[in-house]
Amino acid sequence: MGKVVLVDHLTLDGVMQAPGRPEEDARDGFAHGGWAVPGNDEVMGSVLAEGMGQGGALLFGRRTYEDFYGFWPHQGGNPFTDVLDRARKYVVSRTLREAPWANSVLVRDVGDVEGIKRDEGLTVLGSGVLARELMRRGLVDEWLLMIHPLVLGTGRRLFDGVEVGMRLVDSVVTTTGVVIATYRGREEA
């Protein structure tokens, strides 16, 4: 049986919205897009590349899938573009008519994720709405959180409306002070 791993950038106050670029997600008037970029360094790149090198399928919510599809296939000179293009990508959406990115599979109902999880491991990148629903359903086995030394006071938060017990199984501190923490559910070995 596979596992579901959430991979997210967070501020100290739990904000996950628009870590990569100013225009990434301005919902609710969010004006801090790109807040995670100053925290990037070789340590973080190495940890993320190691995780992506383990293979497995990716799982996205619609917004994150569309954002990634609009950005990553057009990037070069980095280790992530080829991995993302080659990976099987599941996108959970009731509104998309197609999933045009190579190796993409459209999933109409979040309830179907449990069946996919039985067959293969899934890594969820961003996808806050989907991530919260997966946590509510008890489908998340592991969290890889890059916790940035920053408080924004506003923005969409990963754990809004979610109650979950976790235990720390690994941590690395980057040269920029980002804590990369790996958690598993309390009942996981």
Per-domain residue ranges for the chain? 4-185
CATH architecture of 4-185: 3-Layer(aba) Sandwich (3.40)
- 47 vs 9, higher pLDDT: 9
**Per-residue pLDDT for 157 more than 80?**
yes
Give me the pLDDT at residue 151, please.
Answer: 98
Q: What percent of the chain has pLDDT over 70?
A: 96
- Position 164 pLDDT exceeds 60: yes
Is the pLDDT assigned to residue 88 strictly greater than 60? yes
**Per-residue confidence at 71, pLDDT binned at 50, 70, 90?**
confident
Burial class (CB in 10 A: 0-12, 13-18, 19+), 139: buried
User: What residues contact residue 125 under an 8 Å CB cut-off, 6+ apart?
Assistant: 7, 8, 58, 60, 64, 68
Q: Is the pLDDT of residue 65 over 90?
A: yes
Question: Mean pLDDT over residues 83-87, rounded?
Answer: 88
Mean pLDDT of 115-119: 91
Question: Cα(65)–Cα(92) distance, rounded to whole angstroms?
Answer: 9
Q: Which residue has the higher pLDDT, 2 or 59?
A: 59
pLDDT of residue 75: 85
Reply yes or no on whether the pLDDT at 14 is more than 90: yes
Check pLDDT > 90 for residue 36.
yes
